[in-house]
């Protein structure tokens, strides 16, 4: 129906989330995916309480998702450096036991797809460009097909073609780090917190999760790397050599990980933040708008939030009326752009702080972390203060 048509490019977590939210807001939504099958990339993810609350509002089954009580930064030997300051009453109101939850990406897809209206996703559709007229957008695909819509949303990741058409080319810059993502089945003792450990050069983090009824851990190993650094031949030996001296349960986690099926490597890149996302009848969301690093642990979560606020500010609007459409998109940007830019900037800072300092400064950094509460308070504030404000606002809806 004209005035209600929305086309989304990309069937990642953000695109699927937008499909759910916007269809529930009364819009006629189509999601176009370039692959032949909708397949999650990578192993496990972290969702914070805001993402869990939003998914629950949409009818996605999250009741059995395990939430760890609090994130902690620790030294490699287990010494606690940072305990995150959380509003426990806010978490109680949200109906969660902790701020962050580990979850397998495949399971998130499966649960979201159960709520997504059948037939919404069109596979084998690679976006080429779009042409905007006075009252419609024509989207052109590599297979020769076209689609007319009132609003185009680019949810096509860090290499977004929609973003490039809207705002021109921007370089995907190497952040200087790579992350190995893994998971394993293990009924370990430390299942109450999400732990991030550091020595002078490396980070190893882990989060408890439940997958197919079994106690598991997801984990991530972060190291400094060049953009063209090759993968090692023996991945587990490589990781163990660098973090084998870290405190329990890290040696056990590595021993229970199958490197042939449970590992994914990500060389982290970023783009300079935009000052605006929307133009005419098109906008962007998720990694297309604000690609982030693993230090945020917030990529999928921010995409879900983007979808929530897009639907909130577009609901009830006649999208064929350009003024109405742009009013909704402006509210969406006002809610999300500054917040996500600050979040991704803080994550980039932490990546450089922990992996980009020369040895003398890294030594001083570690002494400061071990003997002062100031950096810990800054890290906690950067991670959670504004994110908790977002959660509070959503709970008050």
pLDDT along the chain (397 residues), means of 10: 96 97 99 93 86 97 84 94 90 92 91 97 99 94 98 98 98 94 86 93 94 91 93 92 96 92 86 97 98 88 98 98 98 98 93 94 94 81 87 93
In this prediction, residue 272 carries a pLDDT of 94
Give which of 341, 293, 324, 47 is closest to 179, Cα–Cα: 293
**Residues 282/132, Cβ–Cβ less than 8 Å:** yes
Q: How far does CA 78 lie from the centroid of its chain?
A: 27
Structure tokens at 317: 């609007």
In this prediction, residue 63 carries a pLDDT of 86
Q: Is 272 exposed, middle or buried (0-12, 13-18, 19+ CB in 10 A)?
A: exposed
| Pairwise CA distance, residues 19 & 307, whole Å | 8
In this prediction, residue 379 carries a pLDDT of 79
Q: What is the DSSP letter of 263?
A: E
In this prediction, residue 83 carries a pLDDT of 86
pLDDT tens digits, one per residue of 189-218:
778 889 999 999 999 999 999 888 899 999
Task: Write out the E strands in 171-230.
Answer: 173-185, 193-198, 203-211, 214-224
In this prediction, residue 273 carries a pLDDT of 96
**Domain residue limits, the chain:** 5-42+102-172+271-371, 174-269
In this prediction, residue 394 carries a pLDDT of 96
The two beta strands, 151-154 and 5-9, are parallel
Give which of 238, 225, 229, 219 is closest to 177, Cα–Cα: 225
Q: Topology of domain 5-42+102-172+271-371, per CATH?
A: FAD/NAD(P)-binding domain (3.50.50)
Q: What is the CATH number of domain 174-269?
A: 3.30.9.30
Q: How far does CA 116 lie from the centroid of its chain?
A: 20
Strand partners, 185: 216
Give which of 188, 195, 219, 209 is closest to 79, Cα–Cα: 195
């Amino acid at each position: 129906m004209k005035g209600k048509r929305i086309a989304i490019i990309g069937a990642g977590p953000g695109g699927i989330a937008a499909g759910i939210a916007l269809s529930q807001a009364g819009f006629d939504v189509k999601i176009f995916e370039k692959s032949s099958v909708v397949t999650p990339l990578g192993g496990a993810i972290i969702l914070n309480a805001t993402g869990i609350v939003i998914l629950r509002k949409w009818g996605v089954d999250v009741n059995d998702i395990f939430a760890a009580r609090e994130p902690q930064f620790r030294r490699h030997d287990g010494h606690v450096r940072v305990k995150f300051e959380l509003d426990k009453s806010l978490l109680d109101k949200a109906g969660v036991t902790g701020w962050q939850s580990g979850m397998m990406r495949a399971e998130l897809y499966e649960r979201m797809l159960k709520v997504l209206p059948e037939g919404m996703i069109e596979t084998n559709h690679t976006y080429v460009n779009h042409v905007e007229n006075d009252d419609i957008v024509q989207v052109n695909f590599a297979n020769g097909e076209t689609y007319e819509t009132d609003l185009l949303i680019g949810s096509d990741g860090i290499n977004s073609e929609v973003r490039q058409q809207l705002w021109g080319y921007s370089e995907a810059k190497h952040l200087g780090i790579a992350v190995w993502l893994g998971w394993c089945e293990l009924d370990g003792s430390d299942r109450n917190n999400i732990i991030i450990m550091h020595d002078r050069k490396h980070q190893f983090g882990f989060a408890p999760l439940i997958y197919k009824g079994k106690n598991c851990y997801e984990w991530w190993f972060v190291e400094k790397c060049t953009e063209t650094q090759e993968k090692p031949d023996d991945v587990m030996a490589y990781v163990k050599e660098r973090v084998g001296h870290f405190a329990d349960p890290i040696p056990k986690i590595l021993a229970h990980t199958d490197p042939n099926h449970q590992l994914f490597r990500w060389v982290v890149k970023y783009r300079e933040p935009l000052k605006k996302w929307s133009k005419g009848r098109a906008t962007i969301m998720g990694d297309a708008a604000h690609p982030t690093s693993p230090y945020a642990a917030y990529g999928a979560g921010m995409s879900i939030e983007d979808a929530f606020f897009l639907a909130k500010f577009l609901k009830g609007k006649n999208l064929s009326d350009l003024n109405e459409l742009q009013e909704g998109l402006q509210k969406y940007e006002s809610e999300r752009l500054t917040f996500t830019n600050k979040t991704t900037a803080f994550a980039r800072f932490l990546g450089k702080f922990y992996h980009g300092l020369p040895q003398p400064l890294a030594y001083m950094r570690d002494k400061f972390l071990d003997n002062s509460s100031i950096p810990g308070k800054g890290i906690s504030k950067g991670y959670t203060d504004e994110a908790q404000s977002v959660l509070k606002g959503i709970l008050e809806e």
